[in-house]
Amino acid sequence: ERRVAVVWCLDSPVPDGLWDAADRLPARRIAWLRCHREGAHSWIEPLAAAPGDVTSRHIRLRRLAATPAHRELAAYWA
């Protein structure tokens, strides 16, 4: 079967809900890789190729848990 992959890059913070909608792509046999810029930092996130793979929500929760500046990061995303 033919598989499709999408690399989706943004030059700004991710608009609310955009990655959540794209997280449904693997259920349609479309793998996707997300990348975006936050200020001077670029983020390339894990490939999601199948249902159950890492989602944007997982990434947000991991980043919030890993930083001592979780309040500032949450405010930046808001």
Residues 18-73 pLDDT 10s? 888 899 999 999 999 999 888 888 889 999 999 999 998 898 889 889 989 989 88
What is the distance between the alpha carbons of residues 23 and 46, in angstroms, rounded to a whole number? Answer: 12
Supply the pLDDT for residue 26. 94
Domain ranges of the chain: 4-77
Distances (CA, A) of 6 to 16, 23, 29, 33, 74: 19, 12, 11, 6, 27
